[in-house]
Chain A
């Protein structure tokens, strides 16, 4: 039981980090209905900027982190305006392909600017794990989980309560009606990329600290898909729930199955869960069900 709890709790902590990456994805999907295959690469880019600031230029954290976040917001804005917005209304294949093209550009660009070697993101957090009820927990995971939860709550609040958040939801729902009640759709679109960039930036710092930053960091983005499918593509709380489930499942599955099959369970267990979810509840836990009429 202690073994299970150890796996499970650590899985949930990792899961909250997945949730943060998934959040960036959901934010873009909510605003533009574009499924963003470059999400992992945005995270990687955030990680690279943070790592470059902290490790290469030796900036203090309180300078590097805000600079990184500002740059990521600008990047999110640019990506939305330059690449994703022209795609609204295009067939799914084209959208997928363009964001994949974007991902390739990001990977090439990052490796070209900062080199192929792995860079660390040093954070002033102790490495020594502490023990709670016989479970080993490393402090960085707790900090990361706290950051992620904080951001999720913030964004959930933003979409529920704030004027801008409600306007964004309205535009995502129906652009024409939103326009007719006086919402400036252009501004809403322009701003929708920014929170996604912000979430990706935070994701980049925490993931970069855990795994080190190189182009492989973008693989984190692949785990986003099971998470968002489970939670529902357009739901902020769904991103959290999906991320937690993915984290928990992969950790427990890896702990129990890996010794028998020689590793790799982590990478495919979440996808099995996802297929099952797709079979029984394709729009996820909190996603909006699409009803089709001819």
Chain B
């Protein structure tokens, strides 16, 4: 991933699909893992919180990328599937006293079922029609959680969750939460990376590229579309459940339409059809508002404004820059950060002896 990949001359398909194209790659993955494990040593609590947010976003983004980037089914309801996972985990933990390591997969499983159900229209419709159908899923799920008292718990639809513990080890600060988020993230990344290289992943890609042709060569479109919805929603559900344990509260306001949109922005900016790209996108979209605040505040200070006099202005400016960046990004690099990363890597492949 981060190493140079020169001297790769594939002669087998197997070799072409390998996760580690050169021996150095294994070492570089190991190094990356070490860096990730050692990260809490170098960051304060505030930075850890940001890193955790990136981790949470990555899981959801990888899930959406499986559906939208690999299978080509646009979804505007990803936030709603996260909501399902979040509330499932909250109900299990708060009302039935289940530990988080049951709540996480359970949230994923329930979300997968709901996601597969809302994926049924994808049999008949696709493209922008499907996007609008998933938009409906967003509203319908949100409405159900808000109005069915058993799920949302009545007013405000908030469920408080006790601090998750792992065999007596309370996960109660940002550093400890990091070690809750990191394993899930790594697992999600590796699982996705392997899924898309498998038979199932190839079926997804075939459907994305040309569904009619895929059907002719024997891919069961309906099955794989539903499977893609289920897998993607499983990721969403796990991400939602992780949010719940992270914030110790399940609230629908974290997963509204704008959440779905920002996940879509993540995978587009990161790169459609790339697991690593989803992570890039998650980093970008999570950091964007934080960095913007710093930058704009800094500029405002230069002109003698304090934060409070420009808070309103700042909020609106953030919206404009956020929207503008999305438009600009799609105009300049429609294939996203992953493509940029690839270009940089290619440039250094034979460096300094490139001709």
Contacts and interface: CB of A to CB of B under 8 A. Distances in A.
Nearest to B141: A268
B132 A274 contact: yes
A116 B240 CA distance: 31
B318 interface: yes
Interface string B142-165: 110011000000000000000000
Q: Dominant SS at the A interface?
A: helix
Q: Dominant SS at the B interface?
A: helix
Contacts of A274: 132-133, 136
A64 B172 CA distance: 58
Contacts, number: 132
Contacts of B312: 111, 115-116
Contacts of A93: 68, 74, 264, 268, 272
A102 interface: yes
Interface string A270-285: 0110110011001000
B65 to A, nearest CB: 11
Nearest to A107: B319
Nearest to B265: A97
A35 to B, nearest CB: 5
Of residues A93, A106, A271, which shows the largest number of chain B Cβ atoms within 10 Å of its Cβ? A93
A26 B125 CA distance: 19
B324 interface: yes
Interface in A61-105: 83, 86, 90-98, 100-105
B330 A92 contact: no
Interface magnitude class on chain B: 35 or more
A194 B327 CA distance: 21
Interface residues of A, number: 46
Interface in A213-239: 222, 225-226, 229, 233
Given A109-B316, A109-B320, A267-B139, 20 more contacts: A91-B272, A100-B326, A101-B326, A102-B323, A102-B327, A104-B322, A111-B312, A111-B316, A112-B316, A261-B147, A263-B147, A264-B146, A271-B136, A271-B139, A272-B140, A275-B121, A275-B140, A278-B124, A278-B132, A282-B125
